[in-house]
Structure 1
Amino acid sequence: MPQARTNPDGSTGAHPSKRESVTVRREWRRMLRHIRPTTMWGLPFRLLIIAVVVGLLTPFVDRGLANVFAPYPDLDSGSVASLLGIISGAMVTLAGLAFTALTTAMSLGITSMSVRLAPLLQSDRVVQWALGSFVATFAYSLLIALSIALGEDSYKPWTGTLAAVAVTLACAVMFFAFVVRVCQLLNSGVLLRQLTRDGWRATRYSPRRFHTDAVAVSQRSVPDGHRVRRQRPDASGDALLAVNTARLLDFEDAWGVTIELVPKVGDPVPVGTLLFRTSIALDPKQVEKLEKAVAFGDMQSAATGPFGAIRTISDIALKALSPAVNDPSRAVQALDQLEVILIRLSPLVAEQERELAGHPEDSVLRDWTRSWEEYVAAAVDEIRQFGTTSVQIQRRLRAFLTALSEVCPPSQQTALSERMAVLDRGTDRWWTDPFDRRLAVVADPEGIGGAELN
């Protein structure tokens, strides 16, 4: 039998079934894991623990094999100890070289491209495997050498020696992979393409699936309610990325409370600022549960989706256009990838607009969803403003907007035509020489060359 309860409006009724299904809860956890920054020490530390455990167990394996396959092949323990010492020293040196190369690459990348390069290097799996394998091999070889020093004279570490040699050879391959990977991430073209891929990969974790019944938590007003402020800092960031509305409504049913979500999706919510208003006071455990029903992160990270990828790529373009760097060709590369993202986004945003047009909660969901105008503005406006002194950027922007206008539906043309008009109005103001004006008005996908003057 359903239990009677007092609703937030004072009426009584049956306790409804839970809205947050097991599937929704599982998808929510997957999204949280995805947007959480990958720590640099997690994988290397696990590899180190595995190496220590294996290093402690290997002597027992050797002794067991010696009993099974007696007589066990002879082996000079002194020579093996020397070999393991060489391996341990080489691995420490290799780890130091890798760390030095990594920090140098971060410094150069941040200076010449963007601060966004540092998280990419930190979270890259090849980099983590390389550092972890070097340190783990050092620890393993050290433990095997220690087992030889502490063991009896009859101890023959065949298994430990062969394993140490094998992982050392693997580390040599990993070192090459590490060098190649760092060089790739310092290549602006490769880096920009990876950011584009990361942004599209993040669409699998779109928060839109959790925003059912959005009007129920956003268009309420509890002006005199109890204020619930954000309590816990989050390493992912402070921007409100997603709201588990089903969980919030379940809390309302269970606690007999009305919950008002104060910020909109996309707003920054630092610790200590207002997050909810509730019709009754909540205890600390309930407040903690409320905070777990929303997700925070870095809105300008490619891990959050195409908009984050656009912002990251735009940052790289702006860095390239700064007087300190002055590399418009890299900004053109950035525009190449921004064009790819917007062309792929166009049908998705158009479909989203059609869905919202007939949705009873369209006014709320529009506030929680990026519009086509926002995507175009994030991709174009700052680069257009910073690139007013570069003919290369002007030509590439014209080709950019022209290509988009050819594939976008009529509902998306206004955002493009307005920016093309800005370029037209600025031509006489930015370029005083007639020849420069002729160059600037040509739509050229390469920025310079490859297009005839009209």
Structure 2
Amino acid sequence: MTWGLVFRVRQYLKGSLWVIPLVGGFTGVLLAVALADVHAVVTLPVGWQYSAGTAQAVLASVVGAAVGLTGFVVTVSVLVVQMATGTFSARYMRLFYRDAVLKSVLAVLIGTFTFSFGLLRRVEQDSVPNLGVTVAGFLMGTGLLLFVIFLDRFVRRLRPVAVASLVAAAGRRAFREVVAQASGDEALDVVPAPFEVPGAPDLVVRAAHGGAIQAVDLRGLVAWARTHDCVVVVRHPIGDFVPAGAAVIEVYGKAAEDALAAERRLGAMIALGVERTIEQDPAFAIRIMVDIAVRALSPAVNDPTTAVQVIDHLEDLLGLLGKSGPAAPTERSREATTRGVVIPIRSWDDYMTLGLTEIREYGGASIQVMRRLRAMLEELHASVHPDHRGAVDDQLVRLDAWVAARWRDSPDLDLAARSDRQGIGGPGSLAPPPAVR
């Protein structure tokens, strides 16, 4: 099984809403069979024994309650999906589908249904599975508790700030994983693009079908390049959509194996999917947060406070990205003209442009948003790597120009030009507001 196939299967299992509940259903059937056999050798105290009629009534009630609660969970989930896609961003659904509580409550309820139904068939006048009836009641109670937790969890997650926090946390995890992968021994043979490789490629690997690049097996590419003394160039960064037939990998240097086998092996190290994922793409987390902020700033919603709350978590993620220095070729990297991996990576300027441009454009009429953006940029200027401060200064210049153009004839120009971490109503900056020209 290739790396790309394993990645796609893992992504499918993480996002699937039926696999874990199906496992719960089969577990319920097996547990019912096992407890029916245990009943023959285990005798419960008199206080825990049931008559045949009582056992049937209890199990029938549990079956009905499990089916009813399962339907209610599905209904609530559909409503959450409708509200989330209409209020936040459809791309947030990739995280919603992976929620462990949702899958757990469905698995327990479906397992309780199959377990109770399996025991119900084994209740006879002279043989009652007392232990199984008690376990069925316990499972039903567990399902009710999980349902309450599920309901509380998703009611709270309907708040935009909760969604922004969840997405930012996913982006931080993705960035740390990427950094951990790039800081290992493999990093010795990884060169950030752009990097000039002389000559024409000896092998071009093309996409078998269209899709977004979800992940790249960096370790596998480095190992292959080391083995064959080749330069492997990944033509597109993670997150790009490539059409069928587009070049995704170029190899410079003769490989020991035949071209067809090398093409299949290298192609399997690139995972293509319907849309981007956050696993190796922290920029996708920024994209989702910007979408939420922009939607809140639309004239139909007109909720700048939500945009300010999203900027809070956007600042946290950008601050983490900005603290790492720019990728620079090392002495080993300069030898990659004969062996190594060249892969495009996003620069700090790219992250800043993605995170601020649209919020500044659509929030230009909001004093809250202008003030909060300025406070974020001032904080980033003080906290990011020194080599990244030029991009922050550029964004401050653009913000000044936008405020000057939008608010020059407004009596609130002085307010829009100030820094305020709360957007409006906070104590403001200790420094005087900048001169807006």
Secondary structure (helix, strand or coil) at the match of 1:136 reads helix
When normalised by structure 1's length, the TM-score is 0.80
Distance, in Å, in 1 between the alignment partners of 2:343 and 2:298 is 33
Matches within 5 A, 1:25-104: 33=10, 37-65=14-42, 75-104=50-79
Distance, in Å, in 1 between the alignment partners of 2:59 and 2:303 is 49
Indicate if the aligned counterparts of 1:396 and 1:446 stay in contact, CA closer than 8 A: yes
1:229 to 206, 209, 219: 206
What residue is the counterpart of 1:448 in the other structure? 424
* 1:353-394 Cα shifts (integer Å, max 9, x gaps): 4x5466634999885332211121121111111111211111
What residue is the counterpart of 1:184 in the other structure? 156
What residue is the counterpart of 1:16 in the other structure? none
Distance, in Å, in 2 between the alignment partners of 1:435 and 1:365 is 56
- Relative to structure 1, the CA distance from residue 178 to residue 374 in structure 2 (aligned partners, 3 Å threshold; closer, same or farther) is same
Matches within 5 A, 1:27-426: 33=10, 37-65=14-42, 75-148=50-123, 152-206=124-178, 207-208=181-182, 209=184, 210=186, 212-214=188-190, 223=200, 225=202, 227-231=204-208, 237-239=212-214, 241-243=216-218, 244-249=220-225, 252=228, 261=233, 263-266=235-238, 267-277=240-250, 282=258, 286-296=262-272, 301-348=277-324, 350=325, 352-353=326-327, 356=329, 360-361=333-334, 368-426=344-402
- Relative to structure 1, the CA distance from residue 416 to residue 216 in structure 2 (aligned partners, 3 Å threshold; closer, same or farther) is closer
Q: Does 244-253 or 84-93 show the bigger shift?
A: 244-253
- Relative to structure 1, the CA distance from residue 378 to residue 187 in structure 2 (aligned partners, 3 Å threshold; closer, same or farther) is same
Shift of 1:216: 12
Shift of 1:317: 1.0
Indicate if the aligned counterparts of 1:214 and 1:245 stay in contact, CA closer than 8 A: no
Secondary structure (helix, strand or coil) at the match of 1:435 reads coil
* 1:283-329 Cα shifts (integer Å, max 9, x gaps): 76654322222344688543335323222211211121122222111
Indicate if the aligned counterparts of 1:34 and 1:303 stay in contact, CA closer than 8 A: no
* 1:263-294 Cα shifts (integer Å, max 9, x gaps): 13334334443234566895766543222223
- Relative to structure 1, the CA distance from residue 107 to residue 147 in structure 2 (aligned partners, 3 Å threshold; closer, same or farther) is same
* Amino acid across the alignment from 1:229: R
- Relative to structure 1, the CA distance from residue 220 to residue 105 in structure 2 (aligned partners, 3 Å threshold; closer, same or farther) is same
| Count of matched residue pairs | 415
When normalised by structure 2's length, the TM-score is 0.83
* 1:375-427 Cα shifts (integer Å, max 9, x gaps): 21121111111111211111111111111112234322211111111222222
Q: In angstroms, what is the RMSD of aligned CA positions? A: 3.6
Question: Which consecutive unaligned segments of at least 5 residues does structure 2 have?
Answer: none
Q: Does 337-346 or 237-246 show the bigger shift?
A: 237-246
Indicate if the aligned counterparts of 1:240 and 1:264 stay in contact, CA closer than 8 A: no
Distance, in Å, in 2 between the alignment partners of 1:216 and 1:335 is 29
Indicate if the aligned counterparts of 1:202 and 1:305 stay in contact, CA closer than 8 A: yes
Distance, in Å, in 2 between the alignment partners of 1:368 and 1:216 is 6
Shift of 1:71: 10
Secondary structure (helix, strand or coil) at the match of 2:411 reads helix
What residue is the counterpart of 1:6 in the other structure? none
- Relative to structure 1, the CA distance from residue 295 to residue 417 in structure 2 (aligned partners, 3 Å threshold; closer, same or farther) is same
Distance, in Å, in 2 between the alignment partners of 1:233 and 1:81 is 55
What residue is the counterpart of 1:17 in the other structure? none
Distance, in Å, in 2 between the alignment partners of 1:365 and 1:36 is 30
Distance, in Å, in 1 between the alignment partners of 2:266 and 2:196 is 18
Indicate if the aligned counterparts of 2:365 and 2:406 stay in contact, CA closer than 8 A: yes
Secondary structure (helix, strand or coil) at the match of 1:65 reads coil
Distance, in Å, in 1 between the alignment partners of 2:363 and 2:49 is 73
Q: Percent identity?
A: 25
- Relative to structure 1, the CA distance from residue 233 to residue 377 in structure 2 (aligned partners, 3 Å threshold; closer, same or farther) is closer
* 1:142-186 Cα shifts (integer Å, max 9, x gaps): 1111122xxx53212111101100001101100111101111221
Shift of 1:259: 7.1
* 1:248-273 Cα shifts (integer Å, max 9, x gaps): 226637xxxx6754513334334443
